[in-house]
Amino acid sequence: MHIGHNIKRIREIQGIKQEAFGQLCRNRYSQQRISDFENMVALDESLLDELATALGVTPDFVKSFKDENVIYNIQNNQDTSSSNQQYNYPTIHNDGADKLVALLEKFIEEDRIKTQSISELSKAVLDLAAEVKKLKEGK
């Protein structure tokens, strides 16, 4: 069992880039650090819990994840309810998507504030240039 590979596949299936995934984590990991984790065969339980939570799944889901089961489930549109015990799919939580939306909203708001500041600064520079021009013409 390669836990890092499972983390990577779950992240990829959810369409989350490494950098965005790192920001979803409690400890805000860099893209390179996420890459390092995904190359590890084993992870300590606290790190596994943090990464699984950021992906919106349980640590048990990560441990038992198999590409073959996902492909089989998609191809056969299998019921993953509790009555179908042979596949042992834990519940997937939507916390990761919610965290990503919140992060994107924060980035958008910060971008709006920076754009407004740049606009105000540009106006001030133009006003100053106009004043300098007036002063030069007055001499």
Average pLDDT of every residue of the chain? 83
> Which class would CATH give 1-93?
mainly alpha
- Count of positions (residues) in the chain: 139
Whether residue 13 contacts residue 70, with contact meaning beta carbons closer than 8 Å, is answered with yes
pLDDT of 65 over the 90 cut: no
* Tens of pLDDT, residues 104-129: 888 888 888 888 888 888 888 888 88
Give the mean model confidence (pLDDT) for residues 28-57: 95
pLDDT band at 94 (very low <50, low <70, confident <90, very high): low
Q: Tell me the C-alpha to C-alpha distance, in Å, between residue 40 and each of 3, 6, 22, 43.
A: 7, 10, 16, 7
Enumerate the domain spans of the chain.
1-93, 95-139
Place of tokens 């984590």: 25
Q: What is the pLDDT of residue 91?
A: 52
